[in-house]
Structure formats: structure tokens, C-alpha cells
Amino acid sequence: MVTAFDYVPAIVLLPFVSFVVALFLGKNLPKKGAYGGIAATAGSLLLSIWVLFAVRGGGAHQETYWTWAEGVGSQPFTLEFGALIDPLSALMLVIVTLIATLVHVFSLGYMNDEGERDLPRYYAGLGLFTASMLGFVIADNLLMAFMFFELVGLCSFLLIGFHFREEGPPSAAKKAFLVTRFGDYFFLVGVVAVFATFGTAAFAGAESFPALAEGALAGNVDVWTPGGLDVMTWFTVVGLLVLGGVMGKSAQFPLHTWLPDAMEGPTPVSALIHAATMVAAGVYLVARMYGFYVLTPTTMGIIALVGGFTALFAATMGIVKEELKQVLAYSTISQYGYMMLALGSGGYVAAVFHLTTHAFFKALLFLGAGSVIIAMHHNENMWDMGGLKNKMPVTYWTFLAGSLALAGIFPFAGFWSKDEILYEALIHGLNEPLILVGYVFGLLAVPVTAFYTFRMVFLTFHGNARSETARNPEPVRWNVKGPLSVLGVLAAVTGVINMVPVQKVLGIEGIDYLHLWLNNHYGGIEGLSSHHYAEIGPYSSGTLFGGEVATVVAGAAVSLGLAVGGLLLAWKLYNVAEPVEHTDKLGGAKSLLYNNYYQDEFQVWLANRTRGVSGGADTFDQGVVDGVVNGVSSVSLVSGDRIKRIQTGVVGNYALLLTLSLTALLVVFALIGGWF
Amino acid sequence: MTDDEPGSSSRKPGLAAVALFGVLAAVVLGSASGFSDPAAGFPAGESIIHNIGYALFDIDLGGIPSEGFLAAFLIIAIALDVALDSAVYLAKQEDEGRIISALTDGGQDIVDGEVAGTTETDETDRGGDR
Amino acid sequence: MVPPEYYLLLSSGLFCIGLFGILTRRNALYFLMSVELMLNAANINLVAFSFYWGNLTGQTFALFAIALAAAEVAVGIGIILALYRNFGDVDVMQAATMRW
């Protein structure tokens, strides 16, 4: 019988076909390949929804499509491509394909209607990115995940540098590529370490590396460790190595510096890649191999601490930015910090929940920003805007929905997910001081987030118009408003998929759908459930005020109160007819924040200090590697130059050579064969 | 030609041919003992020419064993035809409008199939070597 | 009966005489004649072994070799004509432009 799972490869291949078509035929197509991209991603979306319902109906799927390398020896590795469809990947498939489809539609308005050039290259990049991202999502082993992880990084590079004729984008693209590659370097070492330790990199099953690691810690399984290292220590090291790639891709401190610069790319690209999906790849990877991470409390603590710190750190920088997309970029970093905090503090479901809601509302905010940018003729400075509320109602109301979600205001999607993260961090933090520090960071970031979000909203849409373009903005068409509306509704209502606080306070059972979903309540693969993760996890829960309900209410009240406080402060300062730059009052702190805590300068300084190492590598490359290659070719060149002298062109010489050679050959044969 | 001028051509490369003959002769004489059987020869009373004719056309009449060569015969016929045509083609090369052909008549150049000079010369000049 | 090795000696002698001509002469026409000698050295072998085995295939084959020699001469003469046209001589040592 044909099931949805038979079509899993098609989900990945459809966007890939659109990439090939756009690349080779794009010039001759109407809208330069946009329709092909929309059709392919929409097809993938439908198939993904089908897969989602198949998982809802109790299914789960793991299949190896292609074994592309088989080892020999006593412990052979097999390297393979396969698909792993469980509740987590099914959900992620739907998120990625939905956002990709909407971004393709939006691109019609943002790229085609604006008369950009080289559109086939743009749509080819989007197609390849979507295909790679989906391939990453369905990956059933760490190596395949790594390969697609690199591919999405490449697509990100290509699309950030789309406007390569200008000065900024190529530089930003290089920076994004190099910084994420720095993290991926550790990831690669981690992949090799996983292979060396377990002999497999599969995510799921009894022979998967999380299962083997669990067995090794229980003393049931023997694994290789370098130099007889303690198993727990070695697993921590491996986990941290893989985490390097995660921190690069998900823009966690200190590898977050590339993401704000990545805003040089076209806005739909920022929405798809640098907000909703690719940046989520890091978080998704941790969730995918969560069964491995929960085994090592040290790694979990580091994840939580880095996440919480990044959430607060990035949020503070968002306060002073003047450009719309820069604010959103820092809020993206901050929100992914929350997800890492959730993962580190044992809130697997909370992290996936926030991943989902964030994908919707942050894609919405970026597309809304794109709409504003169209209207403002590509001027992104918020101080030139103002008063757009009445001129762009659709954009305003959807943007407002996204902002409320981002700020975590009841009852928008972001409130539920952020509240659950903070709740998980709180109850686990009560017994674990490190997690509690992460919780405090996260909690402090709440009012900051609300403040910069509404500073952005008020500066952009409220007050009086502060420039000529703001007084007469360019109208946007259906292809901009359509995706905004869809995402606006989703940003408002996605919270209902996981109403845990309501369930706990009011006692209504069965409305925590996402918990049931990720707990293999409907269908799933043994060992990949949130229940299993909680069992093997290091944390125990504590409560405040003598009860779970009280803890839930208190946590939600505190975070909502802080968010509303931040919102009201922004309201007071910026919701006026002629707002002034209150951030100037911060004095030196402002320039510190505005220059991103001099992170870039620090990294440049660091790069200059390590110039000796890279210079040595360069000398080695130029001298030894290139030297060997050049040496080999020069041998051929010189010997060819000498040997060509034989070819005199005089027929007599050829005849003489033939005769002499024949004679010599005959003599040799005669001597060997004994003819004489 | 140049060969006839003294010193224009070296006889030294010919030593290679002599050397080859030496090697070949040594090999032949060294292996002459392999031919211990006397030659089979052809049966008396059979016409060899007739038998070759039968072999060429795959006619099974002769008393001397042979193989059929009809296909080879036809192919060689075509090959000879091609060789003749290509020889004519190679010899007849166009050079600035004049065909320097092996088929010139009386040393006159042929221009586009016409004898050169027919257009300029008088009626009285015609004839002669035509 | 003449032993077969004498046929072989004769044919290799004829072949080497042809080769000697090719190696020492510069005139293209001499080349053609020398090549004829070498071809006929092969024919001697064909006929000799045809007699030795009592099978007519060798003789018939020699006929074909003669026909092919005729074709070869026809093409060779054409080439010599082209050579003469391009270099003003039939000296094969002068036609040395087909090299690096």
C-alpha cells in the first residue's frame, strides 16, 4: 500500500527540481522561476502535511535509501542516506515547507515587482536552500545531517551575497560563511568522534549512538574512548564538539556576530533562512540528538547558560539599533537563545514549541519588515519612518500580531512558548543553580524584548511621518499581503497547540497537544520521545509556593508582568507624535551597545593575534601543497619540451626510428624466446 | 633529383636495414629446424589458376582446399575505385582559379573546364593544338 | 623441393632492400618503389606458405595484396603530386612542417 512515507524523498526532491529548473531555464520562464518554486514548495507542503497526518495516525518511519560507503574490517562503518520521520521531523517539515512557500509568494512582490535582476539565480538559491533544509530535517544519521548542514550554509552564503555588485553583501556573505564554518569545524570533528566512539551515527533505533551512549553509561556497552578517558568526560567532549556547529548556525554567543550582517541579503531570504529555518537547524540538531545530550549534565548546563546569556545579551543590543532588520536580527539571536535555554534545562517540548511559534512570528515580522521596506523604497532606518499605520493597515496589524507574539503578550503564540521555557527553567533551576542563572538571564530578557519590539513598532508605524517617502509610501500587492495574513493568523493562534498552563491551572486534560505529540502519544519511534528524555535526563523538578499550580501562575505572572512593563515603557517613550532618541541618554552605554559590545573588533583583534598561525598554514599551502602540484606539472612540461624534439617532421627519421625499434624488439623477443 | 648529387643523401641510415636483415636471417635460420616436414604441395593435375578463380567467386569446384573470397573480392573492388578517385582528387588541386590537373591537354591550363585564353584570343588563334 | 626457410630468407632480404631504399633515398618516387618491394616480400611469404600447406588461400591473398598495392600506388602518386605542388620538389626531407 502506498503511504505518505513513500513520498518522503519527493518532499526533498521537489524543491531541488525547482532549483535545477530555475538555474538552467529560469531566464525563459515567466516570473523567472518563481512559479516553479512556488509549485515545488507548495507540493512539498502538501506532502509534508500528509506525512504529518500519517504520523498523527500512529505512523513513524525510518528507511535507508542509499548506502554510499561500506567499510571493511572488524568494525565496519556504513555511511548512508536515509530518512527518519518521527513527530519532531514531521512537525519541522511542515514548518519549513510552509514558510518556504509563503516566502516564495512574498518574493514575487519583493523581488519581481521591484524589478530586481538575476532572478533565476535568486530562485535557484531559494530552491536549493529549501531542498537542503528539508534533507537536513529528514536526516536519519549525524553525517547526513552534517552534509546538509553544510549545504544550507552554502545557500545562506549565496543568498546573503545575492547583491554581489554592492559592497556590503559579499563581505557579509563571507563573514557568515567563515563564522559558521568555524563552528562547523568542531561539528565535523564531533561527527568523526561519534563514528570512532560508537561505530554508527544513526539517530534512532537500538543501535543508534544515543542508545549506545546510554548503554555505555549504564555499563552495558563497551565504547572506544581516546586514551582510556572516562566515558562521561568523553561524551561531554563529543557533545560540546557537535555543539560548536550548533552555536555557529543558531547564532549563539560568541559566534552570533554573523547574523546581523546577514541582513544584507534580500529580506525574504532573511525571513526564510536567517529567522525561521536555517538558524533553527542548530536547535533542531540538538533536539534531534537530545537523547545524547541529556546524558551529560555538564553539556546541558553549558547549553542552558549559553542560551540564557545569549537571550539577554542580544536583546540589549536590539534596544539601540536604528534599522528595522537589525532589530529583528538581534531579536532572532535572542529568541534562539531562549530555545537553547529550554533545551539545556530539560524543556525539550518547550524548545520545539518555541521553535514552531518563533518560526511563524519571526517570519511574519521579517516579511512585514520587507513590506515596509518596499513601501519606503529600501530605506530601512526607522527614524525616517513613522505614521505608516494608516497607510499600510494589513502590514500594520499583522506586524503588530507578530510583535505581540515576540514580546510574549497574552494570548499570542510567543507568550505560551516563552512562558513554558521559563517555567521549565524555573522548576528545574530550583534544584540546579546553573539552570537558575540561565532562568534569571531569560527572565531579564523578557522586558528588554518587549521594549525593543514596541520601540520598533512605534517608531515605524506610529507618530508622524518623518520623511517624504513615509508620507507617500509605495503600495504593496496581494503577494505581499497574502503571506502576511496567513502568518499573522498563525502568530496569533499557534499557542493553542500547547496550552499547558491552562491545563495545569484549570485541570482540563488533553489540550497539551504538542506534549502528547512529542511524547509519541500518536505515533513515533521508540527512544525518541520527550518522556524517554525526561527519564534519562539529569533534572528533577521543584515547585514554588507549595504547588505546581502556584508555580505556573507565579511564573506566568512574572514574565507577563515584565513583558507588559517593557511594552508600557516603550509606549511612554516612543508612542508620541515626534519621538526623540531616548537611547542617547544612555551615553557611553549606547555606543557600547550600538557597536555590539565591540564583538567584531574583538574578533578582528583575535584574528590579527593569530596571524602567525594562519601565515604558517598559508606558507605550508603555498610551499608544500602547491609546490608538489607545481613540481609534478613542471616535470611533465620540461620532459614534454625535451621529448618533442624527437618529432622532427622528417619522414626519414620516423622510418629510421621504426626500423631500429623493430630490430630491438625482435632481438629482445629472440633472446627471451630462445629463437637463435 | 637530390639523391644523385654526391653527399646530399646519407647511406648511414641504411645500416639499420642491414641490421634488421641480420636479425631476421638469424631468427629464420635458427628456427629452420621447425620445418622438418616436407612441403605438402599441390596435387598434380589440378590447375592452380582455375582453383584461384573458383576461390575468388566462392565456387566449390576445385580440388585444392581454399576459402571463399567473394566478399573480399567485392570490397577490394570498391577500395580500388575509391583509391583511383582519391588519386585523381589529390592530383587535381585548385590553385587561384586554375586547375593544375594531371589531365591537362598539351600543356594548356584549363580554366573552369574551358581552355585558358579562348576568350581573349582571336578566332584564328584557335585550332592548332586543340 | 626448396626448403621453406630459403623463401623466408629471400623475403626478408627483399624487405630489407626496400627498407634500405626508404632509409637512404630522399626522392618520393623512390619511396614508392621501395614500398612495392616490401609489399612483394610479404607476397613471397604468402605464396611460399600456400605451397607449403597445400592450401590456395595464401595465393589468393597475394592477389589481393597486389590489388591493394595498386590502390596504394594510386594514392601515393596523388600525394606526391600534392607534395610537388606545395614544396616545389619531391624531396620528402623538405616536407617537415607537420611537427610541433
Q: Nearest by CB to B20, which of A652, A663, A675?
A: A663
Closest CA to A243 of A233, A253, A230: A253
A149: cell is 548542514
The band of A224, judged by pLDDT with boundaries at 50, 70 and 90, is confident
Contact A650 C22 (CB under 8 A): no
Contact B88 C71 (CB under 8 A): no
User: Residue B126: what pLDDT?
Assistant: 44
Q: Where are the beta strands (DSSP E) in chain B?
A: 93-95, 98-100, 110-111, 114-115
pLDDT, tens digit, 9 for 90 and up, residues A617-673: 888 888 888 899 999 999 999 998 888 888 888 888 888 999 999 999 999 998 998
User: Residue B118: what pLDDT?
Assistant: 43
Q: Nearest by CB to C96, which of A644, A648, A659?
A: A648
- Mind giving me the DSSP string for A456-468? HHHHHHSS---SH
Contact B17 A659 (CB under 8 A): yes
Q: Quick one: DSSP state of residue A203?
A: S
- CATH number for region C4-98: 1.10.287.3510
ipTM: 0.91
Q: Nearest by CB to B9, which of C8, C24, C89?
A: C24
pLDDT, tens digit, 9 for 90 and up, residues A304-347: 999 999 999 888 888 888 888 888 999 999 999 999 999 988 88
User: Residue B2: what pLDDT?
Assistant: 45
Q: What is the mean pLDDT of chain A?
A: 86
Neighboring chains of A (3 or more beta-carbon pairs < 8 A): B, C
Q: Nearest by CB to C98, which of A649, A656, A659?
A: A649
Contact A652 C19 (CB under 8 A): no
d(C-alpha B56, C-alpha B67), whole Å: 9
Contact C16 B17 (CB under 8 A): yes
CB A313 within 8 A of CB A442: no
Q: Mean pLDDT over residues A125-141, rounded?
A: 91
Rg (CA), chain B: 28
User: Residue A459: what pLDDT?
Assistant: 87
A345: cell is 534545562
Owner of C-alpha cell 515603557: A569
Q: By CB neighbour count within 10 A (0-12 exposed, 13-18 middle, 19+ buried), where does A117 fall?
A: exposed
Q: Mean pLDDT over residues A364-373, rounded?
A: 90
Owner of C-alpha cell 528524555: A533
The domain locations on chain C are 4-98
Q: Does A663 touch chain B (CB under 8 A)?
A: yes
CB A261 within 8 A of CB A175: yes
Q: Does C32 touch chain A (CB under 8 A)?
A: no
d(C-alpha C25, C-alpha C28), whole Å: 8
Q: Quick one: DSSP state of residue C82?
A: H
Q: Mean pLDDT over residues A392-412, rounded?
A: 88
CB A274 within 8 A of CB A263: yes
pLDDT, tens digit, 9 for 90 and up, residues A230-279: 888 888 999 999 999 899 888 888 888 888 888 888 888 888 888 888 88
d(C-alpha B101, C-alpha B104), whole Å: 6
Contact B39 C51 (CB under 8 A): yes
User: Residue A345: what pLDDT?
Assistant: 87
Q: Which CA distances in Å does B64 have to A179, B57, B73?
A: 89, 15, 19
Region of poorest pLDDT, from A529-533, A615-619, B48-52, B67-71:
A529-533
Q: Mean pLDDT over residues A520-532, rounded?
A: 80
User: Residue B93: what pLDDT?
Assistant: 63
User: Residue A492: what pLDDT?
Assistant: 86
User: Residue B130: what pLDDT?
Assistant: 40
Neighboring chains of C (3 or more beta-carbon pairs < 8 A): A, B
Region of poorest pLDDT, from A551-560, A618-627, B89-98:
B89-98
Chain B residues in contact with C74 by the CB 8 A cut-off are: 80, 83-84, 86-87
C67: cell is 590489388
d(C-alpha A144, C-alpha A129), whole Å: 15
CA angle C18, C23, C24 (to 5 degrees): 100
Q: Nearest by CB to A666, which of B13, B17, B27?
A: B27
pLDDT, tens digit, 9 for 90 and up, residues A44-64: 999 999 998 888 888 788 888
Chain C residues in contact with B11 by the CB 8 A cut-off are: 24
What residues contact residue A319 under an 8 Å CB cut-off, 6+ apart? A448, A451, A452, A455, A583, A593
How many CB atoms lie under 10 A from the CB of residue A569? 16
pLDDT, tens digit, 9 for 90 and up, residues A56-101: 888 788 888 888 877 777 667 788 888 888 888 999 999 999 999 9
Contact A652 C26 (CB under 8 A): yes
Q: Which of A653, A660, A661 to mutate to test the interface with B (most CBs of B within 10 A)?
A: A660
d(C-alpha A611, C-alpha A234), whole Å: 31
The band of B94, judged by pLDDT with boundaries at 50, 70 and 90, is low
Contact B17 C90 (CB under 8 A): no
Question: Is the per-residue pLDDT at C12 higher than 90?
Answer: yes
Chain C residues in contact with A656 by the CB 8 A cut-off are: 23
In this prediction the pTM is 0.71
Residue A132, CB-side half-sphere exposure with 13 Å CA sphere: 23
A513: cell is 497537544
Question: Is the per-residue pLDDT at B68 higher than 80?
Answer: yes
Q: How many residues does chain B have?
A: 130
Share of chain A above pLDDT 90, in %: 18
